[in-house]
């Protein structure tokens, strides 16, 4: 993507985000959030993060690749376990990176 296109994209996303934030305190201040939209909002983050995680781990160049002979999927598994146990974001990132480095050290390519 060219720098100009990226700048345009960021301005667009910024404007949209601002509109969302202003929506209920400004544009529709006298109305309450419809129930369906409320439910939808609650599911957006889990759906987005799951899709992006799956894609980051198992998609390369438009193809599904389960590269279990590389460290990343295993480091991600360690992160999942730590996230589950601790529910701590920084501990999860730290454990995942540590696992990645350890695996790279133990099994140099």
Partner 1 sequence: MAHGGITARGEFLAGCRDEAPLLLGVAPFGMIYGIAALAAGVPAWLAQLASAIVFAGAVQLVIVQMLAAGAGFIPIALTSGLLNLRHVLYSASMAEYVRHLPRRWRLLLAYVLTDEAYAVAVLRYQQRHAAAADHAEHTNATADLRHWYFLGAGFTLWAGWQLSTAAGLLFGTTIPPEWELDFAVPLTFIALLTLLLRERAGQAAALVAGLGALAFAALPYKLGLVAAIVLGLAAGAWTVRRLEQAR
SS3 99: helix
- Residues making up the chain, counted from first to last: 109
CB 94 within 8 A of CB 88: no
CB of 35 to partner 1, least distance (A): 10
Q: What is the DSSP string of 47-67?
A: HHHHHHHHHHHHEETTEE---
Using CB under 8 A as the binding rule, the residues of this chain from 67 to 86 that contact partner 1 are 72, 75-76, 79-80, 83-84
CB of 105 to partner 1, least distance (A): 12
User: Interface residues with partner 1 (CB under 8 A)?
Assistant: 1, 3, 5-14, 16-18, 20-26, 29-30, 32-33, 36-59, 62-64, 72, 75-76, 79-80, 83-84, 87-90, 92-93, 96-97, 100
């Amino acid at each position: 993507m060219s720098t100009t296109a990226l700048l345009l994209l960021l301005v667009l996303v910024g404007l949209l985000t601002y509109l969302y934030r202003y929506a209920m305190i400004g544009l529709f201040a006298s109305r309450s959030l419809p129930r369906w939209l409320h439910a939808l909002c609650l599911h957006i983050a889990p759906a987005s993060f799951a899709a992006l995680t799956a894609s980051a781990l198992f998609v390369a160049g438009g193809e599904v690749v389960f590269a279990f002979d590389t460290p990343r999927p295993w480091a991600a598994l360690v992160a999942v376990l730590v996230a589950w146990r601790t529910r701590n974001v920084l501990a999860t990132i730290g454990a995942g990176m540590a696992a990645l480095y350890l695996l790279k050290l133990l099994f140099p390519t």
